[in-house]
Amino acid sequence: MNSKKNQNKKERNITAENNIKQVRESIGIKDWQNACGLILEEWQYVEPINLDEKDRFKSDEEAYKEAFYNIAYPLYNYDRSMLLKRLIGNIEESKTKNEVWLKYKQYLKEELETETSTPHQIEEKQEPPAEHLKDLFKDEKDLFKDKSLYDKVIDILIGENYIEKGTLIWKDETNGRNKFVAGLIKDLYNKGYLSRRAKNKEIPLISKNTFNVDLSQSIAEKTIINDNDTIYKFIPIVTELQ
């Protein structure tokens, strides 16, 4: 009798486990987890798979503000459309086919369309203040040896179509942009423009304040520039300036 009960219990457990497995497979939880590793940035929270799109964005938005605006960049307005583009780009770059992430991407695109088509968004957006032209590369003292060198670099970046004239906002949004900007700041010291090296913890602030580019300290730490690099050859060594 006990043997039959145990057998029935074992069969029920196997059935329950199979049901759980089928549910997990039906919502693609394994695929979703794999996609998380490709999509999520270090500042994002890992939220439950069943979180709806609106709440998922709310979580991302809170994490983004906490990481970049509440502490490091209190003087600059939060740009919602920029975050939406960033999240959409991360999902597209991962090439995931997971339904959860595809639905989230569609939600983000709809939000971005609403954001960019609302006139008051343009009116509320503020550009960096005009007095930033020298103070942006500043900790306790100006990093540039003198303002003429700063002006020269800005003119070069405008001429190479990397930044907008006047606002200095970075125009290029291709993959690797953040690493490129971090390397650029480091390369300026190697070529004699700066009075000292920019610290890795300063580079994200310089990048944001100068070019409106959000990059993490870890990107700055991983970006290594040496004398043989030619990626920034469009910026001459100071001694070669005319």
Which residue in 30, 12, 8, 10 sits closest to 21, CA to CA? 30
Distance (Å, rounded) from C-alpha 96 to C-alpha 100?
A: 10
Q: Are 49 and 32 in contact (CB under 8 A)?
A: yes
Distances (CA, A) of 216 to 101, 181, 201: 24, 11, 9
Cβ partners under 8 Å of residue 235, min gap 6: 153, 156, 184, 187, 188, 191
54-95 pLDDT per residue, tens: 999 998 888 887 776 654 444 345 678 888 988 998 888 888
Distance (Å, rounded) from C-alpha 58 to C-alpha 23?
A: 27
Residue 4 has which token pair? 């039959």
Mean pLDDT over each residue of the chain, to the nearest integer? 76
In 3-state terms, what secondary structure has residue 27? coil
Q: Are 9 and 76 in contact (CB under 8 A)?
A: no
- The reported pLDDT for the residue numbered 235 is 92
- The reported pLDDT for the residue numbered 227 is 67
Residue 50 has which token pair? 């069943």
Show the CA angle centred on residue 183, arms to residues 182 and 184, nearest 5°. 90
Rounded CA Rg of the chain: 24
Q: Are 211 and 165 in contact (CB under 8 A)?
A: no
Distance (Å, rounded) from C-alpha 139 to C-alpha 194?
A: 12
Q: What is the mean pLDDT of residues 154-169?
A: 91
Distance (Å, rounded) from C-alpha 68 to C-alpha 64?
A: 6
Q: What is the mean pLDDT of residues 107-118?
A: 83
Q: How many CB atoms lie within 10 A of CB 183?
A: 20
- The reported pLDDT for the residue numbered 182 is 92
**Residue reference for tokens 């089928």:** 22
- The reported pLDDT for the residue numbered 241 is 82
Lowest mean pLDDT, pick from 93-102, 135-144, 180-189 = 135-144
- The reported pLDDT for the residue numbered 155 is 92
Q: Are 82 and 25 in contact (CB under 8 A)?
A: no
- The reported pLDDT for the residue numbered 234 is 92
